[in-house]
Amino acid sequence: MATLLHIDASIQGDSSVSRQLSARAADAWRAAHPDGTVTYRDLAADPVPHFDAAANTSRGVPQDQHTPDQARSWSRMEQLTGEIAAADTVLLGLPIYNFGPPSTVKAWLDHLVAPGLGFDPETREGLLGRCNFVVVVSRGGGYAEGTPRHGWDHASAWLPHGLSLVGIEPRFITAELTLAASTPAMSGLVPLAEESRRQAEAEIDSLWAPAATTA
């Protein structure tokens, strides 16, 4: 049975563009997999704790020697990596905050980089690369090539590097200028924002659409 792991991270609730787009993608996946199973994780409502000393040391201590704090941290890593290992598709809604990812997304990824769970401790080969990983990005400003802030989206640049440690290659779908409609200084950019949103939605809708056939 096909399984989707759907993850959101925005703190903006229903007004969040990344949540709206990830929900659209999840609906498209359900339509293509009517018998599939969806697991949902909300990193804003239920944040993963930041990676701390107990989490770090738990990776180098045998489980039967774990302290209670280390045991809790290791159990959390088993749960988070297990969710990905069980999924055929992972869908992440990724907003950009201050040019980077929400800290909750960084904490979540840090817990995936665990020996024997996220990567092979001897070969360093990633162990979670079987899934199809789709990232739906919302950017309030414009970061495309040729713009003054091209290259300032450090979340989209960082995530593939972080996920590579566990063998995952993400696919990105991006909608930008999402603040244009609510920011007077950006009012002239509304048409570009609408086109960016339209293109992102079209790409989402095609993700699991049946392939066209010819007679």
Please report whether residue 104 resides in a domain.
Answer: yes
Angle between helices 68-85 and 103-112 (to 10 degrees): 90
How many domains would you assign to the chain? 1
Please report whether residue 14 resides in a domain.
Answer: yes
| Per-residue pLDDT tens over the stretch 72-99 | 999 999 999 999 999 999 999 999 999 9
Please report whether residue 123 resides in a domain.
Answer: yes
Q: How many CA atoms lie within 13 A of 79 on its CB side?
A: 10
**Residues of the domain holding 75:** 3-206
CA distance between the termini of the chain: 31
Please report whether residue 49 resides in a domain.
Answer: yes
What is the pLDDT averaged over residues 100-119? Answer: 98
The residues pairing with 91 across neighbouring beta strands, listed in sequence order, are 6, 134
pLDDT given at position 215: 45
- Output the domain CATH number for residue 13: 3.40.50.360
Number of residues in the chain: 215
pTM of the entire predicted model: 0.94
Please report whether residue 215 resides in a domain.
Answer: no
Please report whether residue 212 resides in a domain.
Answer: no
Please report whether residue 47 resides in a domain.
Answer: yes
Please report whether residue 79 resides in a domain.
Answer: yes
Separation in Å, CA 155 to CA 26, 98, 178: 22, 10, 16
For residue 51, which amino acid is it? F
